[in-house]
Amino acid sequence: MTRLLPFPIISFCLLALWLLLNQAITFGHILLGCLVALVGGRILTILELPPVRVRRAGIILRLLRMVVMDIVRSNLAVGRIVLGFGRRQRRSGFVEIPLDMRDPYGLASLAYIITSTPGTLWVNFDAQRGALTIHVLDLVDEEEWIRTIKDRYERHLLEIFE
């Protein structure tokens, strides 16, 4: 597994990409796609990435469902703000959140989740202090945001990656 397929997930994605682009599932295309996947996976080893340790894969699905629901909900909220349906004075600002996570893949996933949700934005991570700065469009209560990020996302990511 490690010598032939250093990054099994990426290799699988490359194969799927090849088959989708050609819109054909024939023997020849599967063979070519496997070749692309193998070579692509081997090329990535040049980057010397740290190894991925995914521990509880079952939680990924639950996290994914939660993130999709959050994206839809905050899409509606941000749309309402942009169109000016807010009933009170809106305040936006930075929130600093202490994180326990150190795994680079976990942090990258968290950055992706926070930024892809409209309404929150990953600004800066201070690796020495373990402090994350995010920007929130509709800031009501800082404590609530800290709780949300830590309980909803970081806890699950910690279970997955560490």
Binding residues for another protein, rule: CB under 8 A, are: 17, 20-21, 23, 71-72, 75, 78-79, 81-84, 92-94, 96, 111-112, 115-124, 133, 135, 137
Structure tokens at 103: 């795994």
Residue 2 or 23: the one with the smaller Cβ distance to another protein is 23
Tell the smallest beta-carbon distance from residue 147 to another protein (Å): 18
Tell the smallest beta-carbon distance from residue 4 to another protein (Å): 26
Residue 135 or 150: the one with the smaller Cβ distance to another protein is 135
Residue 122 or 150: the one with the smaller Cβ distance to another protein is 122
Residue 33 or 119: the one with the smaller Cβ distance to another protein is 119
Pairing of strands 93-98, 120-126: unpaired
Query: Among 117, 116, 115, which residue's Cα sits nearest to residue 125?
Result: 115
Q: How many CB atoms lie within 10 A of CB 71?
A: 14
Q: How far is CA 86 from CA 75, 111, 115, 116, 134, in A?
A: 14, 27, 22, 22, 22
Residue 151 main-chain phi, psi, to 5 deg: -80, -40
What 8-state DSSP symbol labels residue 34? H
Beta bridge partners of 87: none
Residue 2 or 128: the one with the smaller Cβ distance to another protein is 128
Tell the smallest beta-carbon distance from residue 109 to another protein (Å): 11
Tell the smallest beta-carbon distance from residue 19 to another protein (Å): 9
Sign of the four-CA dihedral 89, 94, 98, 102: positive
Tell the smallest beta-carbon distance from residue 108 to another protein (Å): 9
